[in-house]
Structure 1
Amino acid sequence: MVNKEEKNQLIIIMKNILDTQNKSNLMPFKHLFKDTIPIVLYTNPDCSPYFCDFTFASEEIRSCFFRIEEITNSAVSLTPLLPLNEEGKYNNTESNPCGLKKTSVKVSLPLHQLSAIQCLDPKLVNRKIIRVDQK
């Protein structure tokens, strides 16, 4: 179980991630840096990844990858990221996506449910995937 001090540290980390994302949209950094730092959130009590089930482009999606949108005193607002395989299609596995795509879906998660956070490489978001068709 996460104690109050650890919970406060987790909130500080999430606020730093959100602040960094927001600063990437300011001049002179706009278009130089990615505006999304993808994360995986882990929940109490077993520290397992938090998954979100949602519909995107008429397809049922399950993802544990997110972008932080807003943090309040009691919850974090998130945008789920669509995990993609090497062909640029939805990848329903939770490990090693080749890319991540932003969605328009919004979810909220109470802060008291969180136990840990993992940042992923921002280059995964909207990554150009080169398809080579077999002849």
Structure 2
Amino acid sequence: MELHRGRLIDHVQLVVRDLKASRRFYESVFKVLDVPIGGSAEDYFWADELFVSSADSRAAQGKLTGRHHLAFQAKDRAMVDAFYKAGLEAGGTDNGAPGERQHYHPGYYAAFLLDPDGNNIEAVFHGPANRSAASVKIAF
């Protein structure tokens, strides 16, 4: 296991109604994003810094999490497209087809899906690597 210090977010936990449906969805989208499932047990699984558990998991304390928006980085537009397709095939619901979102910043290419619990899951490619991070203005 590798520890990463200095990040704003250390990890995120989603507590879901149907762990099997969520695992099918997340395994599919993570496969195309080249993110392996890190581990699992009967009541949870995790990948990178995302921990997903059932409500009866000891870590969940019996309560579902509310609706979240999680955005995963993609290495290119093709990966965003593959994320969208894989997510739909694995039970996700369209929440915004792949395309440019110029209102965020030029080159912002993303797709949005609702996971089985209604979380807004996004894959985003920010455009060419030569763009300075300081020149990017994001409006939410």
Which interval holds the TM-score relative to the shorter structure? under 0.3
Higher relative contact order (CA 8 A, sep 6+): 1
| More strand as a share of residues | 1
* TM-score of the superposed pair, with normalisation by structure 1: 0.26
